[in-house]
Structure 1
C-alpha cells in the first residue's frame, strides 16, 4: 500500500495533459512519501495513450506513472475505476485542466493525516481564465468549480448540499470503498454531454456513513477555464444540469419520512426564487447573462423532483 495516489481522469485530454503532468512531476517535499500517478483514459478518441507512454519513458521511477483505459463513458465511471486501481491510502482527483501548486500533494497528505475522520478533503481552486469573464461572474463561479473559501479550515455541510467539487478532491480510499455504491446513480459528463451531481453523490454517501468532509485552505490549484465555458449555451446547459440533480441528491441522506417534505420544500422554495428573480430582473433575463443563468438553475431545480419518478439517471 502506498501513501498517496494522484488520479487524473481524462477524456480527449492529449493537449491538456502535459501541463498537468508537469505540475504533478514538480511536486516538492514529497521525499518521505510513497506515491504514484494514474491516468484514467475515459474512452478517448485522441492520442492520450501515446502521450502517457512518452511521459512514462522519462518519468521518475520512484513515482510510478500508470495508465488505464475505462470504456464506460462518464466521469463517475472514470473515478470509480481510479479508486479500483489506486494503491494509495488517499486518492487525489485532478481533472485534466487542474494545475496544482508545487506543494499540493504534501499539503493534502499532511492535512489528511491530521484529520483521521476525514473521508474527503478539498482546497482552494482559483480560475485561470482564457478570456475575461462577464460582469458579476463571481455570483456563479462555484458552478465552474472555482472555490476560494478563505484561510481557515472548516467542515462542509452535506445536509444543505454545501459540498466541494470533484476537481482537486482528496478521498480516503477506505471511506469511498465502505460508503459509495459501485453503480453510480449520477453518471456525470459523457463525452461532449454535460451532467452534474456526480461530484456530490459520493460525498453524500460518505457523510451518510459518518465520514467528515473538510476544507483545507493550504491546498491550492488553478482551474483552466477556456473561452467556450463562458459562453451562453455552455453555461445554460450547466445551470440546467446542476438544477436537475438537486432533488435526487437531497434524497440520498433523507429518511423516508423526510422525503415528501424535501420534495415540497424544493418545489415551493424554487417557485419563490423564480418569482422573486423575475420581479428583480424584469426585462433583463434576455440580455444579462448572470441573472439568466441563475433563472435557468432555479427553474431546473424546481423540476428536479419530477425526475425521481422517471426512473432515469441524471444527465443532459
Structure 2
C-alpha cells in the first residue's frame, strides 16, 4: 500500500449535510509529498447524495485529488466503512462522519502521528460542537461525550488503559483495521438490537487487546455540526443513550477481557487477587450482569476454558491468535 492518506465519509441520505463537510476537506493544506484521496461510501441513500457530492467536489477544482464513490446496499455504517477500507488506495485513513468539518491541518497532523508512531493503532482529536441559531440546551455540557465532542483526554498523549476514542475523525491504518477483522468479523452484528453504530468502540477495544496504543491530540481539531432536532432530550435518551446501553451487551464482554488482561500484565499479585475474588463475585452477584462480568473475568484469567458464552470464547481466541 502507498503511505498516503484516504479520507472516508460514510453517509446515508447525507445530501443536505455534505456540502460543508466536503468544503472543509477540500480546504486541507497538504504537503505535496503526501498523496491523498476521498472516498464517499454511500449506504443505500434514497436522496441525491452521490450527485451532490460529485458536484460539490468539482466546485473546488481538485481534479488532481481523486474522489471515489462506492455504494453499500446493506444498511449500517459498519458495512459501508469496511467496504470503503477495503477499497482504499492508501495505508493511512481518516474516518470522517458526514457532519464533521475537519480543520485545514487535520490530514497532515493525522498523517504525521501515524507515520512517526508505529505503536499507535488509532488517533483522535478534539471535537467542537456547532449548531444553528437555537444554540445548545443547558444539559448539553453534561452529555457532550454522547455527541462525540469535547476533549477525549486530559492532555495530548497516549490514552489511559480502558479509554477509547470516538469514531468521529478517527485516524488509523488500513492494514491494521483489516487485520483486526480478518479472522473474527464484528460481533456487533450478532446483537438482537441494531448496535452497528458502536463499530468505533469495538475497533478500539480490539486494538487495545492486541497491544496497540490509542493517541489523543488536542490540536487535531474538527467541528461537529449538530442540528437542532438532535438536541432534544428524546433524541438524546432514545437514540444516543439507549444505543450505548444496547451495545453494552456486546462490548462489556470485551471489557471483561481487558480487565483480566491489562490489569494483570506484569503483575502476578493482581492476577492472583482477581483469581480469588472473581468466583466470590460470581456466586454472590446481585444481578445477571454482575455475574456475567465476574464469570468472564475468571474465564480470561485462566489458561483453560470454563463455561461461558460463544462471543467471549471468540474474544479469547482473537487475543491468543
Could you tell me whether the CA contact under 8 Å between 2:76 and 2:196 is conserved in 1?
no
Question: Cα gap change, 1:231/1:151 in structure 2, threshold over 3 Å: closer, same or farther?
Answer: closer
Query: Partner of 1:84 in structure 2?
Result: 86
Matched, 1:118 2:149: no
Q: Distance in 2 between matches of 1:158 and 1:11?
A: 33
Size of the aligned set, in residue pairs, is: 271
Q: Distance in 2 between matches of 1:257 and 1:132?
A: 40
Could you tell me whether the CA contact under 8 Å between 1:77 and 1:187 is conserved in 2?
no
Distance apart, 1:153 and its partner CA: 1.6
Q: Distance in 1 between matches of 2:53 and 2:214?
A: 32
Query: Partner of 1:176 in structure 2?
Result: 177
Aligned with 2:19: secondary structure?
helix
Q: Distance in 2 between matches of 1:268 and 1:134?
A: 39
Q: Which has the larger radius of gyration?
A: 2
Matched, 1:39 2:44: no
Per-residue displacement from partner, 1:121-176 (whole Å, max 9, x unpaired)? 000011002232222421211011112247832222453xx211101100111221
Could you tell me whether the CA contact under 8 Å between 1:92 and 1:168 is conserved in 2?
yes
Q: Distance in 1 between matches of 2:213 and 2:125?
A: 14
1:145-294 paired onto structure 2 within 5 Å: 145-149=148-152, 152-157=155-160, 159=162, 162-180=163-181, 183-186=185-188, 196-237=197-238, 238-252=240-254, 254-255=256-257
Aligned with 1:108: secondary structure?
helix
Aligned with 1:197: secondary structure?
helix
**What do you get for the CA RMSD once the two structures are aligned?**
3.3
Q: Which runs of 5+ in 1 are unaligned?
A: 272-300, 312-316
Could you tell me whether the CA contact under 8 Å between 1:118 and 1:172 is conserved in 2?
no
Could you tell me whether the CA contact under 8 Å between 1:187 and 1:195 is conserved in 2?
yes
Q: Distance in 2 between matches of 1:256 and 1:143?
A: 23
Query: Partner of 1:13 in structure 2?
Result: 14
Query: Partner of 2:4 in structure 1?
Result: 3
Q: Distance in 1 between matches of 2:20 and 2:38?
A: 14
Q: Distance in 1 between matches of 2:73 and 2:159?
A: 33
Q: Distance in 1 between matches of 2:161 and 2:201?
A: 9
Q: Which runs of 5+ in 2 are unaligned?
A: 262-276, 294-307, 312-321
Distance apart, 1:44 and its partner CA: 0.5
Distance apart, 1:95 and its partner CA: 0.5
Question: Cα gap change, 1:185/1:153 in structure 2, threshold over 3 Å: closer, same or farther?
Answer: same
Per-residue displacement from partner, 1:101-138 (whole Å, max 9, x unpaired)? 11111111112222111110000011002232222421
Question: Cα gap change, 1:257/1:13 in structure 2, threshold over 3 Å: closer, same or farther?
Answer: closer
